[in-house]
A and B are shown apart, each in its own frame.
Chain A
């Protein structure tokens, strides 16, 4: 089972280490992790995608709650959330495949944000699935390097907000 944890923490030195250390110590998976400041500079938001059985998922939330630097945890399913990932891919191209790459980018709504005579830098901001899809599509081309942010997610909008 996959779960997304949106963890609000005190923006202090060492807090990310405490949170990620908890996952490794208790053998919880981290599929992806992203950290950033919130609207309040004293608070950071750590978005963690993790998977495990019901007991593990419950333990992750409880153990996170025990951490004194953790302010609030929101746990939700992928299905009720909007999740996005930003990816940058650098590929090497030549005359024969240039058009194909541009077509892939077009279909998957990726942007070419930088270019030289033999390299292209492609940017995609989309769901983790579509990000992986772009990688698979580009595998036939020579991928030079990839940078991904990890998943960011928030629950979908309701009529009232908790």
Chain B
């Protein structure tokens, strides 16, 4: 058995069934050995999308996503995928080929110091120099990626190490890392303090972030909120923790969120932040927000607590564990008055829109789309105005809402949807993007076709980079610069080239019927919606 065989065997031991990658000489031993395995390799069309696809795969399964690239440009292309996963704490194991270890550091063909270059976007990295280390390194990498605050781990393997013979393959049963022991259980004293505050509070609110989903604690959070009737808001990454139409749910917070969600946070006397970073998009002035209230911050990463705002009660641990411990506590409370107030806010603080009738109104379109989607559909939103519309108007029921929240990487939706569909073949998976973000990953239509991963793609076409245009409208007084996308391809012809079913909607006439037809057609489909360039900014 050589190093490459050991790499594949290690992946099998970790239960990996599919990976996303792009070969090159330095990773060829690996792709040679994979032919003897049941692990399926999906050939993406650029390495960045291998990272995003693995991210989509990880986010719908809760397992570690795996992506593979070759040395040099393959590895550097992967960096944006890695950084995107890092910003959203998505567990990935990224494997890269590397030049011969004896040539390391001499700038030979396709050499890049990838462990160095990607350092600040990685939870951890390995450069394997001894073939005997492969089983231990893989075991550790999967463990580190999937525990504590999750994140991407890189394994860089020089080609000679992949080719070297291994004396014996023994996959370790457990990891032995003296420096890595993430906190799982929350401190009971802190939990009791929170309970005391809840019993005292009149206007408590839970702000749920992506950490709740990463911990798989949606049910626990919902049950806790329901048991004591505590209202919940969420960050962008926390969308889907609560069903959108749940009576205790009051929308997404932040500068792109619902005004009544922000109002709820401002007016609360007890703010419980669960698995959220309190970053600038969610709370632009966290220092001001926590004035006159008690703030509880629950997170698995101690460094997040006190980073952006100093909480009154910090609580470190795995959210699922902590919520289970909360469930064991009993206390008396009644927040009905507060919920009535929030209901009133929700009713009176609706955003008024003024759409042009000659175009598709994205707000109404997304609402109808949500109604027509399967209950458990996976909705992947891209980045730009389309992301804000998706966040604002998509109604999550039992499905998932995925997007690149931390990094805001354009082009995320199609590869991530592909990864999600690969993982859960019988679920409806839909990618919603703009004409800008679509063109950043449209090459994946080939991957989708080749590997038969049928997803539904919706492209909001406003013939410009809408969000930048919006910013230029407000900040530079309509002094528009480099946002015109008129060179874009004819999506009907493009769809036909990739053998994708194409539909176009120009305005709101018969939208529901058209969406129904689009969703019911088998195979991959692309629906182009013509959007008013002036939407939002007029």
Contact of B303 among A14, A63, A68 (CB under 8 A): A63
Contact: A59 with B119, CB < 8 Å?
A: no
Interface residues of B in 299-316 (CB under 8 A from A): 301-303, 306-307, 310
Is there a chain B Cβ closer than 8 Å to A25's Cβ? yes
Contact of A68 among B115, B127, B180, B301 (CB under 8 A): B180
CB closest residue in chain B, given A25: B120
CA distance A17 to B302 in the complex (A): 23
Contact: B177 with A55, CB < 8 Å?
A: no
CA distance A18 to B119 in the complex (A): 7
Given contacts A13-B127, A55-B306, 4 further A-B contacts (CB under 8 A): A55-B310, A59-B306, A59-B307, A71-B178
* B119 → chain A closest CB, angstroms: 6
Contact: A66 with B177, CB < 8 Å?
A: no
Contact: B306 with A10, CB < 8 Å?
A: no
Contact: B306 with A71, CB < 8 Å?
A: no
Return the CB mask of A133-150 against B: 1 if under 8 Å, else 0. Answer: 000000000000000000
Is there a chain A Cβ closer than 8 Å to B124's Cβ? yes
* A91 → chain B closest CB, angstroms: 38
Return the CB mask of A6-29 against B: 1 if under 8 Å, else 0. Answer: 000010011001100100010000
Interface residues of A in 99-143 (CB under 8 A from B): none
Interface residues of A in 44-101 (CB under 8 A from B): 55, 58-59, 62-63, 65-66, 68-71
Contact: B144 with A68, CB < 8 Å?
A: yes
Task: List B contacts of A65 (CB < 8 A).
Answer: 302-303
CA distance A62 to B127 in the complex (A): 25
* A5 → chain B closest CB, angstroms: 15
* A80 → chain B closest CB, angstroms: 23
Interface size on A, residues (CB 8 A): 18
Contact: A68 with B124, CB < 8 Å?
A: yes
Task: List A contacts of B301 (CB < 8 A).
Answer: 66
Contact: A66 with B119, CB < 8 Å?
A: no
CB closest residue in chain B, given A21: B119
Is there a chain A Cβ closer than 8 Å to B116's Cβ? yes
15 A-B contacts (beta carbon < 8 Å) = A18-B119, A21-B119, A55-B306, A55-B310, A58-B306, A62-B302, A63-B303, A65-B303, A66-B149, A68-B124, A68-B177, A68-B179, A70-B179, A71-B178, A71-B179
* B79 → chain A closest CB, angstroms: 15
Task: List A contacts of B178 (CB < 8 A).
Answer: 71
* B32 → chain A closest CB, angstroms: 28
CA distance A75 to B479 in the complex (A): 51
Return the CB mask of B104-140 against A: 1 if under 8 Å, else 0. Answer: 0000000000011001100110010000000000000
Task: List B contacts of A25 (CB < 8 A).
Answer: 120
CA distance A124 to B481 in the complex (A): 60
CB closest residue in chain A, given B153: A68
* B198 → chain A closest CB, angstroms: 27
CA distance A68 to B126 in the complex (A): 12
CB closest residue in chain B, given A9: B179
CB closest residue in chain A, given B302: A62
Contact: B303 with A66, CB < 8 Å?
A: yes
Contact: B120 with A21, CB < 8 Å?
A: yes
CA distance A66 to B86 in the complex (A): 14
CB closest residue in chain A, given B125: A14
CA distance A58 to B306 in the complex (A): 8
Task: List B contacts of A14 (CB < 8 A).
Answer: 115-116, 127
CA distance A104 to B481 in the complex (A): 65
CA distance A59 to B309 in the complex (A): 12
Contact: B179 with A17, CB < 8 Å?
A: no
Task: List A contacts of B119 (CB < 8 A).
Answer: 17-18, 21
Contact of B116 among A17, A58, A62 (CB under 8 A): A17
Task: List B contacts of A69 (CB < 8 A).
Answer: 179
Interface residues of B in 166-193 (CB under 8 A from A): 177-180
Task: List B contacts of A63 (CB < 8 A).
Answer: 303
CB closest residue in chain A, given B177: A68
Most chain B CB within 10 A, of A58, A63, A65, A66, is at A66
Task: List B contacts of A62 (CB < 8 A).
Answer: 302-303, 306-307
* B157 → chain A closest CB, angstroms: 15
Task: List A contacts of B127 (CB < 8 A).
Answer: 13-14
Task: List A contacts of B149 (CB < 8 A).
Answer: 66
